[in-house]
Amino acid sequence: MLDATRSFVVTAAAILALGFSTAVANADPPAPGAPCGPDKVITSVYTCEPLNSPCTGYDGMVIGRVAADGRCVIPGLDGTRW
């Protein structure tokens, strides 16, 4: 009887653990502009970058600065500076 109870408890714990891990894995990522540290935001490409840090285009050329809403903007706009 003790062995049956033990296997039932282990099986139930495994099922619960798998059920909760699926919910965490399916959670939506934070939205662009969400804070991710002191003076850092989630960018539109879902990276955590400091405010006003340089951001690049797909070719690697610096095209702007990270604004508070996570977008890459022309320096001097939306609170960024040169």
Residue 2, pLDDT score: 60
Structure tokens at 24: 């965490």
Tell me the whole-structure pTM to 2 decimals.
0.62
Query: 17 vs 8, 11, 21, 48, CA distance in Å?
Result: 14, 10, 6, 29
Residue 79, pLDDT score: 82
The rounded mean pLDDT for the chain is 80
Low-confidence ranges of the chain (pLDDT < 70): 1-4, 6-14, 16-25
Q: 29: how many CB neighbours lie within 10 A of its CB?
A: 8
Residue 22, pLDDT score: 57
Structure tokens at 37: 């540290």
Which contacts (CB < 8 Å, 24+ apart) does range 49-52 have? Answer: 51/79, 51/80, 52/79, 52/80, 52/81
